[in-house]
Chain A
């Protein structure tokens, strides 16, 4: 059970993120929802690479008597997560920048009113 806790957290984060994107009306809250969704996916990647009691795979800084590679965590998911975080920051920055411009034009962030493109 306790080993599965991170996966439950992942599921919760993804569900919260999706809930926010589908049911919230404020554009900023939708953007927050996307960011929470992204945190969920990142946590999932991190959890994949974790082993119980393992240390970070930094060869120059290993504690005495570490078994290589049995007691190291997987480095690949961490590299993936770092890349994904960087991409996530770019997406977040661009979305917020566009949201600011949208507020200037529409004078609102209510997505039920930001819909000139329809039909």
Chain B
């Protein structure tokens, strides 16, 4: 049982997705119960899997092999089967996605009441979860492409799910078009690598890649596609559209998909391409792109009047912080302050997911209570929606990096390591963080403070079932803020170590060193 966990964690959401239409025929209550039980099971499997990885090291699962650990068939010298390879980084990302998917599902169950076609909604949500987890677990380039496409197709269908509003459709097609083009470029570079090395396995490719022109082209195409999927400026424009127009549970899962793309970026750069490929300008370019992203995200948040869209632009800036850490680590190598930067970046993946998730859940509660997201028509909600206001305050402090929330711990790691590289970088990052705080105070003021508006007098906190996921995320924010070393020791350090030890990733599959 334990050795089949990597297959189960993908199979279970897929099975649930395709059973959903059948289950929904029995009764809506049973459907909710089924969805909840299934997401709970997936979460348990994920935690067991992470525990296995932390106690035993890299887990391999070879599909179609007599034994899951048998990567290379006895008659051949190279791994030809599809292999799932889970190391510390993969385990970390599984935790991030499961936190987001679990709270999203918890929130979705009471959020949608009278909506049509909820069978399909839950089916797509589980399909998206399967795609995200697949991206994070797989050790095969083509398989990564397939899961990337599964995630983008189901995510865009979910974004465009409420077809009564025209904006959701627009956001859906934009997301689908741009991510399918990105995935095609990814496939093109998989083809380039396959043509050169006859291999699709990531470990095999990492071993054989050298500094040739075709490899550089492949790296450039992959980088372009994954940077776009991670929402890095100037390719971030789909992100505010998609985040702002989707319903809050969907937004949480799309955040998980974005973070999975960021994981792909880390995996491609540090495990597969990093030691052998030498593109001199790349680290500087990544740092420049991250600064542009931070700047655009923070300043564009200021002029938004739609609550969710403002939060989404703040999310763009947060992705910039993660990339800044990655770029610093690429510049300095994963040692000394480069390692600190990578630690900060990976920790910030978790923190960004939790903070942004909580902000969108709060926005969802505001929408549910008032049917309004335009901040010009909102105000004084703190009198009626105490709990929502407090959670929003926690989330805004966390995402603008105020101590003692979790956002500060990871941002501090990024600031101090970029300071060692170049003080100007960290000055820009800190200034943007202060700007974000100011802008979030504006959002908080215009939504929750001020005199009570006459048409919003009957706004209420959402039902208890919806408060629970918000409470879970708030507690996580404060816990990770006050005990950051706990998360760093238990989750982040294994992830960083597995990125440093690229040779270990390779030799786990191929053997030798």
Residues in chain A within 8 A of chain B (CB atoms): 14, 21, 27, 30-31, 34, 37-38, 41, 44-45, 48, 76-77, 80, 83-84, 87, 90-91, 94-95, 98-99, 101-102, 105-106, 114-117, 119
Contacts and interface: CB of A to CB of B under 8 A. Distances in A.
Contacts of A76: 194, 200
Interface stretch (B171-179, B259-267, B372-380): B171-179
Contact of B156 (A21, A48, A94, A115): A94
B163 A80 contact: no
A101 B153 contact: no
Given A76-B194, A94-B156, A101-B160, A116 B166 contact: yes
Contacts of B166: 102, 105-106, 116
A114 to B, nearest CB: 6
Main secondary structure of the interface of B (DSSP, over half): helix
Q: Please provide the 8 A-B residue pairs with the shortest distance between their CB atoms, ordered closest to farther.
A: A105-B166, A48-B195, A98-B173, A117-B241, A87-B149, A91-B180, A102-B169, A45-B191
B181 A117 contact: no
B181 A37 contact: yes
A59 B91 CA distance: 41
Nearest to B244: A117
Interface in B157-196: 157, 160, 163, 166-167, 169-174, 176-177, 180-181, 184, 187-188, 190-191, 194-195
A16 B245 CA distance: 32
A98 B167 CA distance: 12
Contact of A91 (B149, B170, B191, B195): B149
A95 B173 contact: yes
B360 interface: no
B173 A41 contact: no
B153 A90 contact: yes
A58 B145 CA distance: 26
A83 B153 contact: no
Nearest to B300: A119
| Most-contacted residue by chain B among A21, A27, A48, A91 (CB, 10 A) | A91
Contacts of A45: 187, 191, 194
Which one of B190, B194, B200 has the greatest number of beta carbons of chain A within 10 Å?
A: B194
A114 B170 contact: yes
Interface in B332-367: none
29 contacts: A14-B188, A21-B177, A27-B173, A30-B177, A41-B184, A41-B191, A45-B187, A45-B191, A48-B191, A48-B195, A76-B194, A77-B191, A80-B142, A80-B191, A91-B153, A91-B176, A91-B180, A94-B156, A94-B157, A95-B173, A98-B173, A98-B176, A99-B173, A101-B160, A106-B166, A117-B167, A117-B170, A117-B244, A119-B304
A41 B184 CA distance: 7
Nearest to A105: B166
B325 to A, nearest CB: 29
B146 interface: yes
B172 A41 contact: no
Nearest to B242: A117
Interface string B272-308: 0000000000000000000000000000000110000
B187 A94 contact: no
Which of B153, B163, B187, B241 neighbours the largest number of chain A CB atoms within 10 Å of its CB? B187
Contacts of B169: 98, 101-102, 105
